[in-house]
C-alpha cells in the first residue's frame, strides 16, 4: 500500500503529516490556545487501506499519548482523514468520524471498555469518549465547512479529529462550562471576562460564532460533528 501525499515512514508523534496538514487550522482558528497547544498526531494515512484499518493504526500511538499526556502537558491528538469520499459533505464525514471513533473504542485495552459499543447510550448526557483511562472532548474540522463555521478547515483538503483530553482544560485553568457569556460592552457592566468568555468573543468577532446552549447538560456527541451553517435544519439526517 502507499502513503498519503506528503507523508513518509519517518513520521513521529510530534512531527508527522497529520500535524503538518492540520497547521492551517491551528494557525487560523480563533481559539486562544491553538497556537501554543502541544499536539501529537496519528500515523500517516494509507489511502489504499479501509477506514477501519487506518483508525486501528492510530490506537498504539493514542495509547501512548494517554499514558504520558498529563506528565508532558499534551493538549490534543490529531487524526487526519484523507479522501473526498470521507470528507466531501456532512453525511459522509459524520459516518467517517463515527467509524473512526468506533474502531478506536474497540481497541481500548486500558479500562472502561468500549464506549461506542452501545449506540443507544451515545445520545445520553453522561456519555463521553473514553480511551485508555482518559476522557476526551472531540472536535472535528473538514473542507466542506465555510469561513462562517467554527469548524472551518482554512484551506486544508482533509478532515481532522482533534481529541482533547479533558485534563488539559484543567491544566489551562479553563473555567467550568456555562450557558452565560460575558460579551463585554456596556450591557455587561464591568464584569470580568473569563478565558471561556474571551474565546466565545473571538469566534464571534471572526464571524464564526457557534451555538451556545442554555444548559450545560446535553449529549456531548451532538457537538462532535457540527452541521455547517449553510445546511438548514430540514436538511439534517434524522438523529443528527
Cβ count near 223 (within 10 Å)? 15
Q: Note whether residue 88 is domain-resident.
A: yes
Look at residues 232, 230, 225, 228 and name the one whose alpha carbon lies nearest to residue 94.
225
User: What is the per-residue pLDDT for 174?
Assistant: 83
pLDDT in tens, 36-70: 999 999 999 999 999 999 999 999 999 999 999 99
Quick one: residue 113, left, alpha or beta (phi over 0 = left, psi -120 to 50 = alpha)? left
How far apart are alpha carbons 41 and 16 in whole angstroms?
Answer: 6
pLDDT in tens, 151-207: 999 999 999 999 999 999 888 878 888 899 998 864 555 567 888 999 999 999 999
How far apart are alpha carbons 207 and 150 in whole angstroms?
Answer: 9
Give pairs for 55-62: CB < 8 Å, separation 24+.
55/79, 55/99, 55/100, 55/103, 55/104, 56/103, 56/104, 56/107, 58/100, 58/104, 59/103, 59/104, 59/107, 61/13, 62/104, 62/131, 62/132, 62/163
User: What is the per-residue pLDDT for 191?
Assistant: 65
Contacts of 154 (CB under 8 A, 6+ apart): 24, 25, 27, 28, 29
Q: Nearest 5°: phi and psi at 190?
A: -105, 20
First to last CA, the chain: 35
Q: Note whether residue 117 is domain-resident.
A: yes
Q: Note whether residue 144 is domain-resident.
A: yes
What's the domain count of the chain? 1
- Is residue 238 over pLDDT 50? no
How many Cα atoms within 13 Å fall on the side-chain side of residue 28?
18
How far apart are alpha carbons 65 and 39 in whole angstroms?
Answer: 10
User: What is the per-residue pLDDT for 133?
Assistant: 94
Q: Note whether residue 11 is domain-resident.
A: no
SS3 12: strand
**Cell (9 digits) for 54:** 487506518
Look at residues 103, 14, 17, 129 and name the one whose alpha carbon lies nearest to residue 64.
14
Q: Note whether residue 158 is domain-resident.
A: yes
How far apart are alpha carbons 111 and 47 in whole angstroms?
Answer: 31
CA angle, 135 then 140 then 141, to 5°: 155
Q: Note whether residue 233 is domain-resident.
A: no
Q: Note whether residue 219 is domain-resident.
A: yes
pLDDT in tens, 65-93: 999 999 999 999 999 999 999 999 999 99
How far apart are alpha carbons 126 and 27 in whole angstroms?
Answer: 33
- Is residue 236 over pLDDT 90? no
Q: Note whether residue 3 is domain-resident.
A: no
Distances (CA, A) of 224 to 57, 78, 162: 21, 14, 10
Look at residues 4, 20, 8 and name the one whose alpha carbon lies nearest to residue 86.
4
The boundaries of the domain holding residue 113 are 17-225
Amino acid at each position: 500500500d502507499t502513503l498519503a501525499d506528503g507523508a513518509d515512514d519517518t513520521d513521529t508523534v510530534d512531527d508527522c503529516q497529520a500535524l503538518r496538514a492540520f497547521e492551517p487550522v491551528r494557525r487560523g482558528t480563533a481559539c486562544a490556545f491553538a497556537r501554543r497547544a502541544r499536539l501529537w498526531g496519528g500515523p500517516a494515512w494509507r489511502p489504499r487501506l479501509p477506514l477501519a484499518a487506518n483508525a486501528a493504526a492510530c490506537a498504539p500511538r493514542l495509547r501512548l499519548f494517554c499514558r504520558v499526556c498529563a506528565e508532558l502537558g499534551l493538549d490534543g491528538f490529531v487524526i487526519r482523514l484523507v479522501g473526498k469520499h470521507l470528507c466531501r459533505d456532512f453525511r459522509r464525514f459524520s459516518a467517517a468520524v463515527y467509524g473512526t471513533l468506533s474502531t478506536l473504542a474497540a481497541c481500548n485495552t486500558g479500562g472502561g471498555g468500549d464506549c461506542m459499543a452501545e449506540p443507544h447510550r451515545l445520545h445520553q448526557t453522561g456519555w463521553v469518549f473514553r480511551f485508555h483511562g482518559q476522557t476526551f472532548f472531540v472536535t472535528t474540522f473538514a473542507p466542506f465547512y465555510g469561513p462562517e463555521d467554527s469548524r472551518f478547515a482554512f484551506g486544508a483538503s482533509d478532515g481532522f479529529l482533534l481529541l482533547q483530553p479533558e485534563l488539559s482544560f484543567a491544566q489551562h485553568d479553563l473555567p467550568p462550562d456555562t450557558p452565560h457569556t460575558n460579551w463585554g460592552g456596556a450591557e455587561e457592566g464591568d464584569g470580568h471576562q473569563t478565558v471561556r468568555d474571551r474565546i466565545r468573543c473571538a469566534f464571534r468577532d471572526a464571524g464564526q460564532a457557534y451555538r451556545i446552549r442554555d444548559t450545560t447538560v446535553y449529549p456531548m456527541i451532538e457537538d462532535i460533528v457540527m452541521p455547517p451553517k449553510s445546511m438548514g435544519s430540514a436538511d439534517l439526517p434524522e438523529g443528527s
